[in-house]
A = this chain, B = another copy of it.
Amino acid sequence: MSNLVIEAWEKGVPHKGKVFAAVFPHSDDFSIACGGLMLKLIGEGYTGYFIRTTNDEMDSYDLTAGETVFRIEQETQQVAEFFGIQKVYDLNYKNHYLDHALLTEMRHRLITLFRFLKVDTVISFDPWGHYEENPDHYITAMAVEQACWMSGRQLDLPELKDMGLTPRFVTKRYYIARGPQESNRLIDISSVLDKKAAAIEMHKTPINNMWKELLAAGQGGKFEDKKDFVKKAMLESKPTLEGLKYYEKYRYIS
């Protein structure tokens, strides 16, 4: 018996006044991991923010690190506007170097932002997702998880109260994982599939990197072209779950 609940798309803007923050280490994580959910939440009235924790410096195939950083910064901005995101905050930690020693400092930058933006809901990687091989993913996720509840405590960073940044819990969390996870929620994304595809394709630099790595590995033949690769590898959900062919799967905690 499945524990999976399909979250209904709501009519009107029932969440008007609510705020979400999507917090991910990399530019393309936003769109690939939760493009559908963001479109749903914004459609239902949410104001959304992107908080990107790394500078994506490693994510190109034949550019310098500097050009990579600049291009992806711009692409992120463009994708965010395309999604209707209010603002992007780039924390710009060095890509692939997120580690456990950064957790407290990163958490405190997040708490400051969560209190300022009055965040109700976060979307991030699952800090408990197994076989996640990129430390940028689980370190970001751990910092987010800590920040969500400490943000509401009276004595964490108490000096911020004087600046009008009052304690406030982030009460809803959507966690996504690339490997095994104790999932409990599905978002049917079939109605926004094209928009999500278009967003992913706007991440030219990282998509190009993946594509060239595929070609270098001699596996380009699996796909017709880069567009087909995006479609098959990033949009088609496997396996079909609860009758849904296109979905995003989360651990939802409220």
Where the two chains meet, the residues of A that have a C-beta atom closer than 8 Å to any C-beta of B are: 55, 57-62, 64-74, 89-94, 96-97, 99-101, 103-105, 108-109, 112-113, 116, 128, 130-131, 133-135, 142, 145-146, 148-150, 152-160, 162-165, 169, 180, 182, 209, 213, 217, 251, 253
A70 in contact with B66 given A109-B157, A131-B253, A217-B169 (CB within 8 Å): yes
Subset of 5 A-B contacts with CB under 8 Å = A67-B70, A69-B69, A109-B157, A130-B182, A152-B213
How many copies of the chain does the oligomer comprise? Answer: 6
A146 in contact with B155 given A94-B93, A101-B101, A182-B130 (CB within 8 Å): no
A104 in contact with B97 given A73-B65, A92-B57, A146-B133 (CB within 8 Å): yes
- Determine the chain B residues whose CB is within 8 A of the CB of A96 once the complex forms: 150, 153, 156
A135 in contact with B103 given A58-B155, A65-B55, A217-B169 (CB within 8 Å): yes
- Determine the chain B residues whose CB is within 8 A of the CB of A157 once the complex forms: 109
Closest Cβ neighbor of A153 among chain B residues: B58
Q: Which of B61, B130, B165 contacts A154 (CB 8 A)?
A: B61
